[in-house]
Chains A and B, each alone.
Chain A
Amino acid sequence: MSGPEPPILELRDLTKSFGGLVAVNRVSLDLGPGAIASIIGPNGAGKTTLFNMVSAVTAPTSGTMRFRGTDLRRPLDARARRTLAAGAAAGAAASVLAGWGLDLFAALTTEPFSWTGGPSRAAAALFAGSPATALAAAAGAAAGGTACLGAWALDRWRPDRAAELGIARTFQNIRLFRDMTVLENVLVGQAPRLLSGLAGILLGSRAVRAEEREARRRGLEALAFVGLPGREHALAGSLPYGDQRRVEIARALAGRPALLLLDEPTAGMNPAETGDLTRLIREVRDRLGVTVLIIEHHMEVVMGISERVVVLDHGERIADGTPGEVRSDPRVIEAYLGRGHGQGRPGA
């Protein structure tokens, strides 16, 4: 820990369960700014689930996340959500009933009340559909629908909000926009920074053109940074595998994030490509000042690049420290190799 600098990412008791399976179990983690940290663990340890929660792709079951002091959570807590939804439904129902009530009242008061004729007139009024009923029902449905939608919109777990706050990520299996050009990919990566409005776009206003030029410049810069100059008009899907990884990283960096999450960046790469990528990751931190959190299986990469290694097993954090500390931690060795590894590696 380097002095009093506040952590960029704080996870507290973060838990995610899928039905009965607890994928991530009460994981707490503080990540200082400017760090390169790795998360390792056997298959199914919950590494990617943790990434998905930090990038707001999936909602945590419980626990809190703070990023640069901002709470990453649903804007409404569960009770407020339920109250709002119930209120909207009740309001809609009430206005429909009020409309019906008007009809009923009208039906029952136009003639002297009689127990024989009254109910049938009331029933007729319910189904006759006067303008008052229709209007009240429509108003109720609109109000209820708007409130439900509002509750949903506020409540939505949105990866794009995380991106706006400065959390960028790549995916385990590369997810480029394959039928778009490389440049278009890195332009989409800047989505939260581009604000031009519809009118400006349709009229081709000067402000919009300036923003577009600037975005292109930043996009080309990001491509040059990852070592892909001159390929901006190629289709992303037509590039070789290693270059696609670089485009994905450039796309993530193009939005100028503060935290970059890399999910197995060297998967499927040969040793030369792995070495290049490791250098690139270090440059991301050194030259751009971006905090990097990596999920990785290549131990050489992990131990070579990380200042800190967090080990997950069965959703729990079992070790956390420098590469040296983690390597000699008996619980880590047990998680990876099983008990009694001295007698030979089981299944190997």
Chain B
Amino acid sequence: MTPARTGERPRDPHAPFHRAGLAALVLFPAADHLLDLRLVGDVVPVLLFAILAVGLNATVGLGGLLQLGYAAYFAAGAYAAGILTSVAYPFQLPLEVATAAAVGAGALLGALSALPVLRLKGDYLAIVTLGIGEIVPVTLRNLEPITKGEFGISPVDLPGPRAWEDWTNTTHGVLWYYLALALLGLVVYCQRRLERSRIGRAWEAFREDELAASACGVDTAAVRVQLLAYSGAVAGLAGAVSASYVPAILPSQYEFPISAMVLSLVVLGGLGNWRGAVWGAILLVSLDRILAPSLTRWAQSLVGSGSYSFFLEFSNYRFLLFGLALVLVMRWRPGGLFPPRAAQERVG
């Protein structure tokens, strides 16, 4: 593609895909109901992962900071929500209040974890974030008086008035689905506003050339705090909602594989493009949460009832498939499925 010669803004060539994807997301529960797929509830985690991916995309894609411990912020949100709502603690606030606190907890952990890295970038920063991603689950395991250690927190409160039995009724996953979709919409809205503001531009300038950005008047230490706090806040939101959906919290849900998975969603979808992050989450997480279990059921039924084959349990191939998907995408579309405008012009 040749760069635009006129003053016209170049159009996104993938816009029809995105519109179709949005329509599919909005209409999915209806299709699910008509076709009697009963998958709406399974798609909720997919949407929550999409929220995580959009949040991480800000740090890694826009800001260029390699964040390897993203699950820590997810955990911060989940535990904040759990501690503030669960009957095991004295607070028992409604989930809506606790979710706000969870967003704050994620942002606070993000801002705090920026402090040791105010001058770092690249590999050094990645190591520190990896360390934070390890410290947080270990702390959660061992700080038993506060986190209940390995037992975790259960149940976490549900959204809305307690009388809404629907939230617990799995056949009514539609409510959860639209809640998750609305929150994804909210996060995307914030993302778009930020991208087109002085803050988002400063993030990108920082990624492109830190020295030049600071000579232009961008405070690069503040950018690091903003990036980690913002993506931490988004992860905190996802953590609170997912803890309430499950509705339990275990320290093992917040370890490195989650960080690696969200990162691979972002890279696969297209680093720096939130639309790509959403697509990456929808494709890969659906594969993992919906397609793999269905395949497993089908394959096991072929083997015959009563017998169980370890090798036909497709969820075991999860990371093999993620790895394969990443290798294939990097080979054929190095910018990801939906690269941001800049990469489109360079690669394609």
Binding site for B on A (CB under 8 A): 55, 57, 145, 149, 152-153, 156, 158-160, 162-164, 168-169, 171, 175-180, 184-185, 187-192, 194, 196, 198, 201-202, 204, 208, 212, 215, 229-235, 237-238, 251-252, 255
Contact = CB atoms under 8 A, between A and B. Distances in A.
Contacts of B6: 230
Given A160-B220, A163-B215, A233-B9, A238 B205 contact: no
A255 B3 contact: no
B209 interface: yes
Given A160-B217, A160-B219, A233 B10 contact: yes
Contacts of A202: 190, 193-194
Nearest to A201: B197
B197 A177 contact: no
B101 interface: no
Interface of B: 3-10, 115, 118, 190, 193-194, 196-199, 201-202, 204-205, 208-209, 211-221, 340-343, 345
A198 B5 CA distance: 34
Contacts of B340: 179
Given A159-B215, A163-B215, A234 B3 contact: yes
B199 A177 contact: no
B3 A158 contact: no
Contacts of B215: 55, 57, 159-160, 162-163, 168-169, 171
B197 A159 contact: no
Residue of B9, B193, B205, B221 ringed by the most chain A CB atoms within 10 A: B205
A129 to B, nearest CB: 12
B202 A188 contact: yes
Interface of B, secondary structure class, is helix
Residue of B5, B6, B209 ringed by the most chain A CB atoms within 10 A: B209
A237 B197 CA distance: 21
Contact of B211 (A175, A190, A194): A175
Contacts of A169: 215
Nearest to A182: B3
A196 B214 contact: no
Contacts of A179: 204, 208, 340, 342-343
Nearest to B208: A177
Shortest 5 CB-CB distances between A and B: which pairs?
A: A163-B217, A179-B342, A192-B217, A191-B217, A177-B208
Contacts of A191: 198, 202, 213, 216-218
A251 B7 CA distance: 18
B193 A234 contact: no
18 contacts: A57-B215, A145-B115, A149-B115, A158-B214, A160-B219, A163-B216, A177-B209, A180-B201, A180-B205, A185-B205, A188-B201, A202-B194, A212-B197, A233-B4, A233-B7, A233-B8, A251-B216, A255-B217
B212 A187 contact: no
A189 B214 CA distance: 10
A184 B219 contact: no
Contacts of B213: 177, 188, 191
B72 to A, nearest CB: 19
A188 B218 contact: yes
Contacts of A201: 193-194, 197-199
A175 B219 contact: no
Contacts of A177: 204-205, 208-209, 212-213
Contacts of A188: 201-202, 205, 213, 216, 218
A208 B197 contact: yes
Contacts of B7: 229-233
Contacts of A190: 217
A185 B209 CA distance: 11
A277 B214 CA distance: 25
Contact of A235 (B193, B209, B212, B345): B345
A194 B200 CA distance: 13
A194 B216 contact: no
Given A179-B343, A180-B201, A212-B196, 18 more contacts: A55-B215, A57-B211, A164-B217, A168-B215, A177-B208, A178-B342, A188-B202, A188-B218, A191-B218, A194-B198, A198-B199, A201-B199, A202-B190, A230-B6, A231-B7, A234-B5, A237-B342, A238-B345
A189 B7 CA distance: 20
Nearest to A145: B115
Contacts of B342: 178-180, 235, 237
A190 B221 CA distance: 18
B278 to A, nearest CB: 19
Nearest to A180: B204
Contact of A187 (B190, B198, B220): B198
A191 B204 CA distance: 13
Nearest to A251: B216
Contacts of B208: 176-180
